[in-house]
Amino acid sequence: MWSKIEFEGFDIGDAVETIGRGLERELFIGEISGMYFLKRKGQVAYRLRHNSNTVPGLFLANQMRLLKDKSRIQGGNVKHPMPKWNGQGERISGLD
């Protein structure tokens, strides 16, 4: 059975900035390396990586701020080759 969870705007690999909670945690910029559903809280907790080190403890969505606005769609930068056709081709006979 699946539980529906609202999307909080964070995905694995996203760069985030932590938001301080009094003097409990130090502010830093990190990357989301894991997502875990906390059944007792009914929400997702995030594991962060900072300077290639896993940060101890889990963070909730209200303790982080996304560094990149994902609401805007960016244009692609991949150059796709255009097919070339000189107008010649084989005719299939017997369809007349």
pLDDT score for 48: 95
What proportions of the chain, in percent to the nearest 5, are helix, strand and coil? Answer: 5, 30, 70
By C-alpha distance, which of 23, 6, 24 is closest to 61? 6
Q: Is residue 23 part of a domain?
A: yes
Q: What is the pTM of this model?
A: 0.66
pLDDT on residue 23: 61
Residue 81 falls inside a structural domain: no
- Of the listed ranges 7-11, 31-35, 66-70, 71-75, the one predicted with least confidence: 71-75
> What digits encode the pLDDT tens for the residues 14-70?
999 998 766 666 788 999 999 999 888 888 999 999 998 999 999 999 999 999 876
For residue 47, the domain's CATH number is 2.30.30
Please write down the long-range contacts of 52-57, taking CB distance under 8 Å and 24 or more positions apart: 55/28, 55/30
Residue 47 inside a domain? The answer is yes
Domain count, the chain: 1
Cα 96 to Cα 73: distance, rounded to the nearest angstrom: 49
